[in-house]
């Protein structure tokens, strides 16, 4: 059933995210062109925005000298779900480039990213960067409120109050400002927030000097969603200990400003059927008799690449029977390449790959194949399908979609084996995966050995359960769960998640 068929009582949806679901670029003639983003989130959320006559508020990926320059419509050959998002339904947020850099690189990526991944030593705490963060959040809030008012006044909104869905750590302050202005001007709306990264324990969170403001910002919502219950409990705990709120841990409720805010675990899913289809149609890519262990990650210190490479080295040392029979294929997608810390990490990985390959390579075999770059969706699906082991071992990760995409693409019998870190949201929910602590190099090597030698019937059993859960709890189900948590879904369409 299409998602939109079951959304019977949703008002118009206004999505607010740092980036719009497409990027604007100038072509050679200086004209703006739009290139759609193809992620699962955009695919699931865009149809709801379009079908509820809603709006999308975000940064278009380019600084426009003239903020009123018209946004182009999608190209005629664009078949992505955002193609139906007309330019009049898009609200671009424009900020001075220096301020935007302070907000995005200086605060979001240099402070919240490491802190929320429980790596406080990597986080910087600077008042000037946080000031930019607050100003940009205010700009997003103002633009969203204007859009809300326009929608309600024009009569274009559906009958219910519009539903504003704010995404991620870039915009944790916006909700409260939107709520205050909406209450003052008596414009009805519902507000929901979803955090895509972990929410840390209080002892980590309180290191942030302006921690209370962040909580107050998020508590401007009617409902705050996280991937898993642990992050919900961390948030509830922080509200109680930092702000002194009355909380209900069992029912995940926080009292604040005379309102009760719901906190909900909403584990994100993937477009499962699309990945299955890709796995069926993608041409064969790996011409090898070796068993492939596959890693796919943005090149980020949270993803545990150094530990992973060391575990693989230990595997070859301790279990030499795998030499010439097993290869690690690691795809590392360039990310934040202008940041020194990321450049240093790349250096470290380059050297480690060189050292391990230098140590073990034979005339007929290299243990590690390392791709520093992006591969197409087709290639990715082929790698997922042909891999014997999916190795997903972040040091910390909100959810991790790669683990889910890997199982979706495991269409061959007998299937391969998924290894997941317990420090990823996916490790909490994908119960039949092998669990591997990336910090324990020796035992991680043993888990890889176990995966490589697992009997066929056990592989089949584990993979069947993993695939069944991800198929049922796909990204459409996630969007539906969000609507349900907001009270925007008809009761008969609510159903329980498959555990």
Q: Which sign does the torsion angle of CA 346, 349, 353, 354 carry? A: positive
Of residues 148 and 278, the one with the C-beta less far from ligand GDG: 278
Of residues 262 and 396, the one with the C-beta less far from ligand GDG: 396
Neighbours of 182 (CB within 10 A): 22
- What is the C-alpha R_g of the chain? 23
Of residues 199 and 388, the one with the C-beta less far from ligand GDG: 199
Of residues 85 and 299, the one with the C-beta less far from ligand GDG: 299
Question: What whole-number distance in Å separates Cα of residue 34 and Cα of residue 42?
Answer: 15
Residue 300 has which token pair?
Answer: 């980020």
Shortest Å, Cβ 38 to ligand GDG: 8
**Residue pair 94/67 in contact by the 8 Å Cβ criterion:** yes
What does 257-323 look like in DSSP terms, one character per residue? TTEEEEEEE------HHHHHHHHHHSPP----SSEEEEEEEES-GGG-HHHHHHHHHHHHHH-GGGT
Shortest Å, Cβ 210 to ligand GDG: 23
Of residues 211 and 375, the one with the C-beta less far from ligand GDG: 375
260 forms beta bridges with 255
Q: Which residues bind ligand GDG (CB under 6 A)?
A: 196-197, 268, 296, 298, 331, 333, 374-377, 380, 397-402, 405
Residue 452 has which token pair?
Answer: 């490589």
The C-alpha angle with vertex 459 and arms to 265 and 400, in degrees rounded to 5, equals: 30
What is the crossing angle of helices 401-409 and 456-472, to 10°?
120
Of residues 6 and 399, the one with the C-beta less far from ligand GDG: 399
- Asked about 66 being catalytic, the answer comes back as no
What is the maximum alpha-carbon separation in the chain?
Answer: 74
Q: Are strands 253-256 and 259-265 parallel, antiparallel or unpaired?
A: antiparallel
**Residue pair 47/479 in contact by the 8 Å Cβ criterion:** no
Shortest Å, Cβ 364 to ligand GDG: 27
- DSSP state for residue 452 in the 8-state scheme: H
**Residue pair 14/487 in contact by the 8 Å Cβ criterion:** no
- Asked about 338 being catalytic, the answer comes back as no
Shortest Å, Cβ 121 to ligand GDG: 19
DSSP H or E stretch at residue 404: helix 401-409
Shortest Å, Cβ 150 to ligand GDG: 29
Q: Which residue among 78, 101, 142, 196 is the active-site one?
A: 196
What is the crossing angle of helices 340-360 and 305-318, to 10°?
10
Of residues 141 and 409, the one with the C-beta less far from ligand GDG: 409
Of residues 174 and 296, the one with the C-beta less far from ligand GDG: 296
| Residue pointed to by tokens 């349900």 | 484
Question: What whole-number distance in Å separates Cα of residue 5 and Cα of residue 407?
Answer: 28
Question: What whole-number distance in Å separates Cα of residue 404 and Cα of residue 416?
Answer: 13
Q: Which of 389, 392, 422 is nearest to 404 (CA)?
A: 392
Shortest Å, Cβ 394 to ligand GDG: 8
Of residues 199 and 208, the one with the C-beta less far from ligand GDG: 199
Shortest Å, Cβ 435 to ligand GDG: 17
Shortest Å, Cβ 373 to ligand GDG: 7
Shortest Å, Cβ 157 to ligand GDG: 28
**Residue pair 224/176 in contact by the 8 Å Cβ criterion:** no
Q: Known catalytic residues?
A: 196, 397
């Amino acid at each position: 059933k299409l998602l939109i068929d079951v959304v019977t009582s949703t008002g118009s949806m206004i999505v607010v995210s740092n980036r719009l679901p497409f990027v604007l670029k100038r072509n050679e003639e200086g004209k703006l062109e739009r290139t759609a983003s193809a992620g699962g989130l955009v695919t699931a959320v865009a149809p709801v925005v379009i079908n509820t006559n809603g709006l999308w508020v975000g940064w278009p990926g380019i600084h426009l000298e003239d903020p009123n320059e018209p946004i182009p419509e999608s190209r005629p050959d664009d078949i992505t779900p955002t193609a139906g998002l007309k330019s009049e339904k898009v609200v671009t947020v424009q900020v001075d480039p220096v301020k935007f850099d302070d907000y995005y690189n200086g605060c979001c990526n240099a402070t919240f990213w490491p802190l929320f991944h429980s790596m406080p030593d990597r986080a910087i705490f600077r008042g000037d960067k946080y000031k930019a963060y607050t100003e940009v959040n205010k700009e997003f809030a103002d633009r969203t409120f204007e859009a809300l008012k326009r929608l309600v006044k024009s009569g274009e909104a559906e009958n219910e109050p519009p539903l504003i869905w704010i995404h991620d750590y870039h915009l944790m302050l916006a909700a409260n400002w939107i709520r205050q202005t909406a209450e003052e001007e008596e414009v009805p709306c519902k507000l929901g927030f979803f955090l895509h990264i972990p929410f840390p324990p209080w002892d980590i969170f309180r290191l942030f000097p302006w921690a209370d403001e962040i909580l107050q910002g998020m508590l401007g919502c009617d409902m705050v969603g996280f991937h898993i219950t642990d992050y919900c409990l961390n948030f509830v705990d922080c509200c109680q200990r930092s702000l002194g709120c009355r909380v209900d841990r069992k029912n995940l409720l926080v009292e604040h400003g005379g309102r009760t805010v719901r906190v909900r675990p909403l584990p994100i899913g993937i477009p499962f059927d699309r990945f299955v289809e890709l796995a069926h149609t993608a041409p064969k890519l790996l011409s090898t008799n070796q068993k492939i262990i596959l890693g796919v990650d943005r090149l980020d210190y949270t993803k545990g690449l150094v530990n992973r490479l060391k575990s693989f080295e230990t595997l070859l040392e301790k279990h030499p029977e795998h030499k010439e029979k097993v290869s690690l294929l690691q795809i590392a997608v360039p990310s934040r390449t202008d940041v020194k810390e990321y450049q240093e990490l790349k250096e470290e990985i380059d050297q480690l790959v060189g050292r391990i390959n230098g140590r073990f390579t034979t005339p007929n075999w290299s243990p590690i194949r390392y791709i520093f770059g992006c591969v197409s969706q087709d290639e990715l699906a082929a790698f997922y399908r042909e891999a014997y082991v999916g190795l997903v071992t972040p040091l910390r990760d909100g959810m991790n979609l790669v683990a889910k995409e890997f199982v979706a693409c495991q269409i061959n019998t007998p299937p391969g084996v998924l290894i997941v870190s317990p420090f990823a949201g996916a490790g909490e929910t994908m119960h039949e995966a092998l669990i591997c602590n990336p910090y324990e190099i020796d035992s991680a090597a043993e888990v890889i050995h176990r995966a490589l030698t697992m009997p066929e019937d056990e592989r089949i059993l584990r993979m069947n359960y993993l695939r069944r859960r991800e198929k049922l709890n796909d990204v459409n189900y996630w969007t539906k769960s969000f609507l349900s948590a907001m009270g925007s879904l008809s009761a008969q369409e609510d159903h329980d998640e498959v555990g």
